[in-house]
Amino acid sequence: MSKKAKKGVLLVQLGTPNSPTTGEVKKYLTEFLMDPRVMDIPYVSRTLLVKGIIVPKRASKSAHTYSTIWSSETGSPLMYYSVQQQKMLQEELGEEYHVELAMRYQEPSIPNALKNLERMFLDSLIVIPLFPQYASATTGSVIDRVMELMRGWQYFPKVSFVSSYCDNPLMVDVIAEHAQKHDLNDYDHFLFSYHGLPVRQLGKVDPTGELKCPDFGCDSCKKEINSFCYLSQCYATTRAIVEKLNIPEEKYTVCFQSRLGKTPWIQPYTSDTLHDLAKSGKKKLLVFSPAFVADCIETLDEIQVEYADEFKALGGEEVHMVESLNENPKWIEALKRMVLENGN
């Protein structure tokens, strides 16, 4: 911790189990799914569902999946890349700043990170949730938790939050750069697979209840109606990337993965899209995952293994993935600019 730093930066990622064991995965899933912004149902129902059904049913299988992507040297991929991003940003910003990393769920925790920052008697603090597209269940949950904990501070520095950066030019440049490691002419179709959300959560973002969007966004939505609509931000990210790479409209599809339970989630589902593309004769797919700034279980397993196997079983041949932002210096420059542009 630099004694000279008077400006704080808090990077917050979603979280990861401490180890790929059933017990640690249970702890992680329980904390994650008991968050009322994630599982937005009454407490008693949430407790019965999470602790009585979902976690007992999924923990062992999820632990096995984590073990397949876990490194004996670096551990969790998400943790590894998040730590690298924190270290690289610290180096870029210099000793005037102190950069902390926290996970919304599990370790390193937001409470511990804020304790470290509070001891520095900061002049300012900027919080950057590591989710490009705003959603109440991700960015909203981080901001909620930070504000809750900072109520106990006896002094208050200037505090800023970066709510979204869905079409940040440097971020888009990195995604395009990573995509161009593949021969784009070699693919029949491109998928932009974002993390899903229950449909009901899209409507909740409008506190007035006056905004009417029957299909909850579309590929032409440009965020003027509701700038915090997760779906419209996903489309904004996609538009920026396809424009950069000159991908024609008929060659890409926006879809949503990782749905949970029987309640309606944002569609089209990635799994259903794979079925449709295989049925239409498509053989080679390249998948973008612009909701993730670091490779994790959703990219390294759900896309590269689960969806790839599913597509091949349907008659397809190959599913490749564009790597996440990870350690790309241009992504670190994007984070640096966010810090500087927000008055820190």
Q: Is 298 annotated as a binding residue?
A: yes
Coil, helix or strand for 179?
helix
Long-range CB contacts for residues 209-214, cutoff 8 Å, separation at least 24: none
Q: Which two tokens stand for residue 105?
A: 């769920």
Strand 189-195 to 158-161 pairing: unpaired
Q: Which amino acid is at 184?
A: L
Q: Is 64 annotated as a binding residue?
A: no
Contact between 81 and 65 (Cβ < 8 Å) = no
**How many helices (DSSP H) and strands (DSSP E) are in the chain?**
13, 8
Contact between 138 and 170 (Cβ < 8 Å) = no
Which residues carry a binding-site annotation? 195, 298
Which residues carry a binding-site annotation for Fe(2+)? 195, 298
